[in-house]
Chains A and B, each alone.
Chain A
Amino acid sequence: MTSQNTSMPASQNAAPQWSRFPFPETLIRYSVLLGVLVFLAWSVHFLNLDLQRLLGAFPRLGAILADRYFPPELSFVLDHRFLNSVLNTIQMSILGGAMGVLLAIPLAWFASYNVTLHRWLVYPFGRLSIMGCRAIHETIWTILFVTIIGFGMFAGVLALTMFCIGFAGKLFSDEIEAIDMKPVEALRSTGAGPLQVFVYGVLPQVKIAFVGISIYTWDVAFRAATVVGFFGGGGMGWYLQRATYELQSTRVAAILLTIIALVSISEVVSGWLRQRLAGERLA
């Protein structure tokens, strides 16, 4: 931190007047730091936190895991109904991811300032809808869709779709805003409409990045799909919820181990795919 603010003013001022603590910057810096510290202390007080319990939390978690959760009931996980729910979870994540990505592409187009259709009407609409999808957590989306269309995987798929719109839309629009504007200018100067500009000027530049982001989105969607069932969205989360509320801790442990294993596999798969894609980009 200090190395930054010592070098800055020396290069800016005409008269090289070196000082360890240049006046306005340090005041702002330290007052912000003080404000953050005061906020933290106040929040510890406000939330009535017992710091001793905080320190004891991890040993207690370990003790509980060893005590109640320890022999994971693997026979439950190997049951064909549970395996079917795992398959359903994967399907939900694929479908939700695909729908989310498809809807995110036009929204990302609207929400990128450089190629948007209209900077005062369409741009805020795109921005706000992506931010709204991102702001609401996937579990809340699940609960909302469950109240509207009932329990089952449809609600889970819709919740994952909203989640993926938020997740992929932001990355997509960041990618679009970083493109080279020259092809876009060229197309515009020949009289191309906005859709033509997007399809021929923007998409070719971001295609490979979009595929990479889509794979990553699927990875994240799968992680979210493991819990949408907890709130009625179908898939393996439903078994998790039942086992949790029935206090069948050994079953919960087995399901958690399955989730960790599956998420690790999905991470490896998506990493491998993205690496291959990066290779394609270089070649």
Chain B
Amino acid sequence: MAMTDRMASENSDRGILSSAGASTYFERRRSARIRSALIWSAAALLLFWCLHVTVIADTDWERIGGRFGVLGSIGRFLLLDLSLLPHLIIPAIETMMMATLGTLLGCVLALPVAWFGARNVTPSLYFFYPVGRFLMVLSRSVHEIIWAILFVGAVGLGALPGILAVAVRSVGFISKITAEAIENIDPKPVEAIRSVGGNQFQVMYFGILPQIMPVVLGTIIFEWDINIRRAAVMGLVGAGGLGLVFFRQMAMFNYGGVTMVLLAILMLIIIGEIVSHFARKAVT
């Protein structure tokens, strides 16, 4: 709607330019300039209002204690605690495993959601399609920390709630991209398989799956990369890995150890980025 409106106005704009001459054109340009100035000043006012409420009025400036206070607090993080290094290896492996298993479980869970949420293959457009769409939104709108809290309540402490939280959180993105890929497939192979008497499963396995495979694999690898970050914070709410070490070091006020944990997370992310770079090259 808006697009066609805009195009119509664009066309009329050109018409006026050619017929009524330059004065209307400049008037139009001036009004556009005034409009953009109004928008920019409104945005600036909004930003200043936000700045005032959240930062200027809310901060306890005394506690920060001036420039040197801040520099001092940052400086405490810079004295690395190298003795923590051997205690970081196993949690780092755990984090990697949580991310991988979580991604895998997320793929399994995303299968039915994508099937329900793709308009052209959904079993029922009036029941399963809205359910699938709702599950996608639900999975993405609840933050992984909140999922982790819910799952810690449901299955207890340990790596399992972390895996479940990572999995549930990644369902939304994987299934959304997959559903979009399914909606954009070429319908001809599907027709062909149907016309030779293939059943629903055969249509999916031979008609749809080969077409969406590269996109879906790329998305899964991308999501795995993100899930490493997510798995690294699951420990903050009671689900193992590097987050737990981070939380303990923070609770002991061992700021050098905190920096070590951050460096370990950074290492994991770099490894993940390299692996996902090559894996994505391999599948596409």
Interface residues of A (CB under 8 A from B): 1, 3, 32, 39-40, 43-44, 46-50, 53-54, 56-57, 60-61, 64-65, 88, 91-92, 94-95, 98, 131-132, 134-137, 139-140, 143-144, 147-154, 156-157, 223-224, 226-227, 230-231, 234, 240, 244, 256, 259-260, 263-264, 267, 275-276, 279-280, 282-283
Instruction: A46-B93, A91-B49, A91-B53 given; name 16 further pairs at CB < 8 Å.
Output: A47-B94, A47-B158, A47-B159, A88-B53, A92-B50, A95-B51, A135-B270, A144-B77, A152-B58, A152-B60, A223-B140, A240-B146, A259-B141, A259-B143, A276-B2, A279-B3
A279 near B266: Cβ-Cβ < 8 Å: no
Q: Which residues of A contact B98 (CB under 8 A)?
A: 47
CB interface residues, B 22-72, toward A, < 8 Å: 46-47, 49-51, 53-55, 58-60, 63-64, 70
Q: A152 is contacted by which of B59, B246, B270 (Cβ under 8 Å)? A: B59
Q: Which residues of A contact B49 (CB under 8 A)?
A: 91
Q: Which residues of A contact B93 (CB under 8 A)?
A: 46
CB interface residues, B 1-29, toward A, < 8 Å: 2-3, 6-7, 10
Known interface pairs A1-B213, A260-B141; A147-B250 also in contact (CB < 8 Å): yes
Ordered by A's residue number, 20 sampled pairs between the chains whose C-beta atoms are within 8 Å are A39-B100, A43-B97, A43-B101, A54-B163, A57-B155, A57-B160, A92-B54, A95-B47, A140-B232, A140-B246, A140-B262, A140-B265, A144-B77, A147-B250, A148-B73, A149-B64, A150-B64, A153-B55, A224-B143, A259-B146
- Which chain B residue lies CB-closest to A166? B229
- Bound CA span A3–B101, Å: 28
Min CB–CB distance B277 → chain A (angstroms): 12
B100 near A43: Cβ-Cβ < 8 Å: yes
B160 near A53: Cβ-Cβ < 8 Å: yes
- Bound CA span A48–B10, Å: 64
Q: Which residues of A contact B236 (CB under 8 A)?
A: 139, 143, 231
Q: Number of B residues whose C-beta is below 8 Å from A? A: 68
- Bound CA span A234–B60, Å: 13
- Bound CA span A56–B161, Å: 12
B151 near A57: Cβ-Cβ < 8 Å: yes
B185 within 8 A of A: no
Min CB–CB distance A158 → chain B (angstroms): 9
The tally of CB-CB contacts under 8 A between chains A and B is: 177
B118 within 8 A of A: no
B79 within 8 A of A: no
B137 near A140: Cβ-Cβ < 8 Å: no
- Which chain A residue lies CB-closest to B268? A135
- Bound CA span A267–B258, Å: 35
B80 within 8 A of A: no
Q: A136 is contacted by which of B46, B142, B262 (Cβ under 8 Å)? A: B262
Min CB–CB distance A68 → chain B (angstroms): 8
Q: Which residues of A contact B58 (CB under 8 A)?
A: 88, 152-154, 234
Known interface pairs A132-B266, A139-B145, A140-B233; A91-B100 also in contact (CB < 8 Å): no
- Bound CA span A150–B55, Å: 12
Q: Which residues of A contact B70 (CB under 8 A)?
A: 148-149
- Bound CA span A230–B149, Å: 11
Q: Which residues of B contact A44 (CB under 8 A)?
A: 101
